[in-house]
Structure 1
């Protein structure tokens, strides 16, 4: 069957060599490697890229070699345009659901009611972030509130930065961020550092503020419950993550617990606990960024391709 580069329009059942669920950076990276191996590839994408909030806030991506300071939506659009030049790729917009391992070992799922069967599956389904319940925080997510110092710390220009405690990993951020700016850790009744952690933070010059936060105002100003207002260049926090798709659980993939939330358990080549199912990107990492997602996607695709060659030889 010849697959056109245009998006899928009919609703007939589809049988494919490789399917990639998730069309963001990790998924497109995986699809690129597979199609360059001259394999037929279907990409299923629900259009919910994790860092879309950065585009909505008018921000840019950072630290991604060759793409520094570009809007992430433009990076993704260019990547898709490059991918779709290959005649072996098919793009299907929609949400994958009802996934199951079939008796013959193939992987079945449905997209908007359409049946899909793949011999090998790469999951790049991503995660969703849940922010601490601080008034004004979510409105600034991706603009002046972040989670990754390596992605956004440089843009603080050495100014005052705040860490809003939501989990024990607040200590890690409070310990790291003095390299990017004068740092204050707001415990916010959500995190209580040990004496040892307090000593480590003090050694780094991080101040600890125990009075809870009432709200965030302005660009990134922290208003405390005692009425004090502390101006910040930017804020960092520890969102809780959850898998954005139930497909991995439906297939029976083992999960691992990370500091931010559960993720799909994979080995060194992105193989899950289920045969012929690979996973990459934020859904298969304790924490990550665009660079790591792209690398994971390439590794997952190469491992899936090698597995198909071994099967053919058997």
Structure 2
């Protein structure tokens, strides 16, 4: 289980076989599609994020620069490699009146050259996301996600189809609104359950989700990841905020304990930093 799919501990592999990190369509993305969770207060013009991930004695760092219009909607995001080379750019077409992203253009540069794809978002009469159509640089459909929502407008089923219309994966969600959590399950095309997650529904609610406690700003102090094998990893979170109350730093520690020995060990797992420029 995890609480921040945008910065994944475990990547849902069937979706990522055909998608890039941060672009894959899943229940989490649909649930929080048009939320402005990069900030809570003020009007940022730009947010620079630096994310460092630790693996033993090694570490990797990712950097992104996000720019916003005066209505507060994200309009571009540039992603850089550790050496400062631009490797990807996302550009959004927005309906600022309805506060909806209508289209996202994803460009990337790699050793294989330049690539571009576009995602078109379709909403129902209640402004609930019901379909995502991915297109290549020539406008040909490459992938389709169809979404079923419950009476509250939250996604309960997402099915993926390839360019021929053949299904190749499904994710479902069950909601516990009293606990502010959604439990998701990922299935293969033959119906086998591959993995499951627990997600926060409303990040603005400081509530206790089972053993997971949020602080008074609504940020989780603990989280966990459970694999299909039953193995669970527990994480603890520490935060820093600026004078407006926006989060400028987060440290995530992996917590372990040894059988028969009291106490616990914490090892740094991820460090996130944000630098804000306001209008």
More helix by share: 1
Instruction: Determine which structure has greater relative contact order: mean sequence separation of CA pairs < 8 Å that are 6+ residues apart, divided by chain length.
Output: 1
Structures share a fold, TM > 0.5?
no
Kindly name which structure, 1 or 2, has the bigger radius of gyration based on alpha carbons.
1
TM-score, structure 1 length as denominator? Answer: 0.24
More strand by share: 2
